[in-house]
Amino acid sequence: MLGGTLFERDHNGARPTPLGELVLSRAMVLLPAARELQEEARRFANATADIPRYRLGATNGPILGGLMDRLATAWPSTPVSTHTSWSARELTSMVMLGRLDFVFIGACGESLPPVEGPVVWLTVGTDPVFVLVNEDHPLADRKEVDLAELADEQWTVTPGDSCFGDCFATACARAGFTPRTIYETDVATCMHLAKVGRAVALCQATFQPAEGLRLVPLTGTPLRWRQLLGWHPEAATASVASSIFEHAKGAHADAVRRSRRYATWLADNPGLGTSP
């Protein structure tokens, strides 16, 4: 299509030909311009739509369900659609491309959200990470446990593209051990492995354990998880971002109240939970 060979390949790898160099230099200009056109076109189309609508994206967390209920009550005539993904980077890219209006992702500790253009981020809440164990586990009835007491356990956690794995490994190292097998899988499998005693699950403190499972806080809160709301500042829906943020905080506060173990823990550990 471009009239000649763009790359030459050998055992050392691939190198651009002179024509390839020309194409690459032009592509550096054309591709960002094409992406900008796509973003602006989507924002324009959304801004001129006859009926306002809100497209929400989220990773696994406590906010989306409650937020949808709150928006349906506050704005019953406004359609709301959702998209979920384990990848915070994918969701952030969808905001930049105009395919989502608002995203809810998690960030480990004080780590930054994905850098993907001029996305505005606000913290909805900051939660400790608890452990989920079988109700017959020797530590199930403890008020809290030290991470070092779980040194001989196997672990299970849901997938994600944040730095949580590194943060967990660091926390374990500080507690004096290297974690054994870590099963990365979906929520249902994590709960099953915890329920049958095959692993200890790492989960957000807002998680609602099923029958046969116990949620147990970790002493000193070695792991934290921030709930973030993001949106594009030039999107037509940016004008309602403050309202979405307040509804999201309400949904998070509801999730905290539903978790008796977390609500009790917060009474003794102020400073976390829903953002002021």
pLDDT given for residue 33 in this prediction: 82
The whole-angstrom separation of Cα 197 and Cα 169 is 21
Q: At how many degrees (to 10) do helices 241-258 and 260-268 cross? A: 100
- Concatenated DSSP letters for the chain? --SS--EEEETTEEEE-HHHHHHHHHHHHHHHHHHHHHHHHHHHHHHT-SS--EEEEE-SSSSHHHHHHHHHHH-TTS-EEEEE-S-HHHHHHHHHTTS-SEEEEEEETTPPPP--SS-EEEEEEEEEEEEEEETTSTTTT-S-B-GGGGTT--EEE---SSSHHHHHHHHHHHTT-----EEE--HHHHHHHHHTTS-EEEEETT--PPTTEEEEPBTT---EEEEEEEE-TTSGGGGGHHHHHHHHHHHHHHHHHH-HHHHHHHHHSBTBEE--
Domain ranges of the chain: 19-48, 52-269
**Does the domain made of 52-269 have the CATH classification 3.40.190.290?**
yes
**In the chain, which stretches have pLDDT less than 70?**
39, 42-52, 116
Parallel/antiparallel/unpaired status of strands 13-16 and 200-204: unpaired
Among 132, 151, 152, CA closest to 216: 132
Question: pLDDT by residue (tens digit) across 89-143?
Answer: 999 999 988 889 999 999 998 888 887 678 999 999 999 999 999 999 999 999 9
- What pLDDT, on a 0 to 100 scale, did the predictor assign at position 48? 56
What was the pLDDT predicted at 1? 85
Q: How far apart are CA 214 and CA 192, in angstroms?
A: 13
What is residue 116's predicted lDDT score, i.e. its pLDDT?
Answer: 65
- Number of residues assigned to the chain: 276
> Which pLDDT value is given to residue 257?
94
- What's the CA gap between 202 and 184, in Å, rounded? 10
What is the per-residue pLDDT across 206-229, written as a single tens digit (0 to 9) for each?
Answer: 998 889 999 999 999 999 999 999
Contact 180, 208 (CB under 8 A): no
pLDDT for position 177: 96
Contact at 8 Å (CB) between 129 and 225? yes
Q: Report the pLDDT value the prediction gives residue 162, as an integer from 0 to 100.
A: 86
pTM for the model? 0.79
